[in-house]
Amino acid sequence: MATATSAASGSAPDRHTIGEVLAMLRADFPEISIPKIRFLEEKGLVKPERTPSGYRKFSDGDVERLRYVLRMQRDHYLPLKVIGEHLDALDRGLEPPAIEATVPTVPQVALAADGLPSGESFLRRDGLRLSRNELLKIADVSDGLLAEVEQFGLVTPSRTGHYDTDDLVIVQTARELADYGLEPRHLRGLKAAADREVGLVEQVVAPLRRTSDPSARARVEETAGELAALSVRLHATLVKSGLRHF
């Protein structure tokens, strides 16, 4: 994978804004977002140029690096550290190690070191799609429990009838709570509280959505993730604090 070079005439290679890169990648990677591209840059996997005013300018080679990273994540479930080693080998003219055939596995939810979700974790999308039977088997729940979880609005299948990673975690957690006698009907209050927290986040990011400033609009997802993480941290700490009175 070589970086695009300039034409024989000596003209500079094409340079793209982050928004243009997003549009170029979205057809093959629908879950890509501007915060995701920034995250990969922070990890050193791509190093776009910066204009004097601080705007990112991506070369054709940068775009191909991003394609490689996203493909290795999606198709081979490689961690970013390993992908970075592959890119380093390619940069030095070497061939990356052969990728062994893998059996798809359910991605684990990424949590911060303190056990609470980070802002970035709220933006992570893995593209997982499970059928109803797959969800029942992986979550180890009965069809009756899943039906109750759906009845009380805790999970809703997509238009194609599939379930994602969040649905899996919710169903698994509902099963574990059921072991303590807490049935899905008892969890309606938790769902209502979560909806209220989402509403608070929407209030904050709504002005950013309406602005014509591209940089402000690009911060919507990033801001929403950070606010969500703070909200969950506060909620969890209030519960922890309340338990001290038992």
Q: What is the pLDDT of residue 217?
A: 65
Q: What is the pLDDT of residue 78?
A: 86
CB 61 within 8 A of CB 2: yes
Q: What's the CA angle centered on 62, arms 128 and 81, to 5 degrees? A: 55
Report how far Cα 39 is from the mean position of its chain's Cα atoms. Answer: 11
Nearby residues of 1 by Cβ (< 8 Å), 6 or more positions away: 61, 64, 65, 68, 90
pLDDT band at 6 (very low <50, low <70, confident <90, very high): very low
Q: Both tokens of residue 226?
A: 């950070």
Residue range 64-81, pLDDT digits in tens: 999 999 999 888 888 898
Residue range 130-171, pLDDT digits in tens: 999 999 999 999 999 999 999 999 999 999 999 998 999 999
Q: What is the pLDDT of residue 147?
A: 96
Residue range 194-216, pLDDT digits in tens: 999 999 989 988 887 787 777 77
Nearest CA-CA partner of 117 in 191, 13, 228? 228
Residue bearing the bigger pLDDT, 215 or 40 = 40
Burial of 8 (0-12, 13-18, 19+ CB in 10 A): exposed
Q: What is the pLDDT of residue 58?
A: 95
pLDDT band at 12 (very low <50, low <70, confident <90, very high): very low
Nearest CA-CA partner of 19 in 219, 224, 223, 227? 219
Residue range 103-140, pLDDT digits in tens: 555 555 444 446 677 776 776 667 788 999 999 999 99
Residue bearing the bigger pLDDT, 68 or 241 = 68
Nearby residues of 128 by Cβ (< 8 Å), 6 or more positions away: 106, 107, 164, 165, 168
Q: What is the pLDDT of residue 209?
A: 78
Report how far Cα 220 is from the mean position of its chain's Cα atoms. Answer: 14
Nearest CA-CA partner of 40 in 56, 51, 28? 56
Q: What is the pLDDT of residue 107?
A: 52
Domains parsed from the chain with CATH numbers: 15-91 (1.10.1660.10), 120-243 (1.10.1660)
What residue has token string 């928004």?
19
Residue range 178-192, pLDDT digits in tens: 999 999 999 999 999
